[in-house]
Chains A and B, each alone.
Chain A
């Protein structure tokens, strides 16, 4: 079963646009929500992460918005650049219980930013 659902599967924007990638989760025990960025030929790398005690987290041009009641979170990329073109994965994990340390990933979004 897919416990983290990610959309859209692909996204094309112009330079300077604000792409938004959405994720929804089912397991209410999840309490850690990272986003990973993957460039072609490379492994994914952590981009930004959020805990559910806050509704928003910003790091540079990247922002996570978190809605605990809706069990949804999203990634916004401000002033997107061609160098942001990559595959983005959302993920979820819990700090305790049997899921501790295991990340459940979404399906991935291929982002293309045109110059």
Chain B
């Protein structure tokens, strides 16, 4: 059962292209996050949203933008992709209550040539 889905799972693109990564969730969570994973750097927060009208920058937001189209959907855009944005991207969700466990999607592997 895929509570958090990401599309596409793999993408190869060229420098300068605009790319959109999409995330959908069926967990009914208010909070959604976008991370990138790089070897040796762990998971770094790009943007997060605590509800539909809330968008916040994370620690590495430059070169990225997001859109929260609905409670269940959170998209990440690379306006003009560059090679150092080659990484594994994860979407995650969490409830507003409880211990803030985050539930991650399966990831999107993005390669920028």
Contacts from A to B (Cβ < 8 Å): 6, 9, 32, 34, 41-46, 49, 89, 93, 95, 101-108
| B44: contacting residue among A32, A46, A105, CB under 8 A | A105
B37 contacts which chain A residues (CB < 8 A)? 108
The answer to whether A103 touches B90 (Cβ under 8 A) is no
A106-B44 Cα distance, complex, nearest whole Å: 9
- Partner-A contacts on B (CB < 8 A): 4, 31, 35, 37, 40-45, 48, 50, 58, 90, 92, 94, 96, 99-107
Additional 6 contacts, C-beta under 8 A, given A34-B99, A44-B104, A49-B101: A32-B100, A34-B101, A42-B106, A43-B4, A106-B42, A107-B42
Among B31, B37, B102, max chain A CB count under 10 A is at: B102
Interface pair A44/B100, CB less than 8 Å apart: no
Pick from B41, B48, B100 the residue with the most CB of A within 10 Å: B100
Q: Are A46 and B102 in contact (CB under 8 A)?
A: yes
Roughly how many angstroms separate A12 CA and B4 CA in the complex, as a whole number? 31
**Cβ of A89 and Cβ of B43 under 8 Å apart?**
yes
Residue of B nearest to A106 (CB): B42
Are B41 and A107 in contact (CB-based, < 8 A)?
A: yes
**A44 and B106 in contact (CB under 8 A), knowing A32-B99, A101-B50, A102-B48?**
no
Separation in Å of the B55 CB from the closest CB of chain A?
A: 14
* Residues of chain B lying within 8 A (CB to CB) of residue A42: 106-107
By a CB distance below 8 angstroms, the chain B residues around A106 are 42
- Give the docked Cα–Cα distance between A2 and B41 (Å): 9
Can you list 27 A-B contacts with CB-CB less than 8 angstroms, sorted by A residue number?
Answer: A32-B99, A32-B100, A34-B99, A41-B106, A42-B107, A43-B92, A43-B104, A43-B105, A43-B107, A44-B43, A44-B104, A49-B101, A89-B43, A93-B100, A101-B50, A101-B100, A102-B48, A102-B58, A103-B45, A103-B102, A104-B45, A105-B42, A105-B43, A107-B41, A107-B42, A108-B40, A108-B42
Chain A residues whose CB sits within 8 angstroms of the CB of B4 once the complex forms: 43
Whether A89 lies near B40 (C-beta < 8 A) is no
Closest 7 CB pairs of A and B: A43-B104, A105-B43, A107-B42, A105-B42, A108-B42, A46-B101, A44-B104
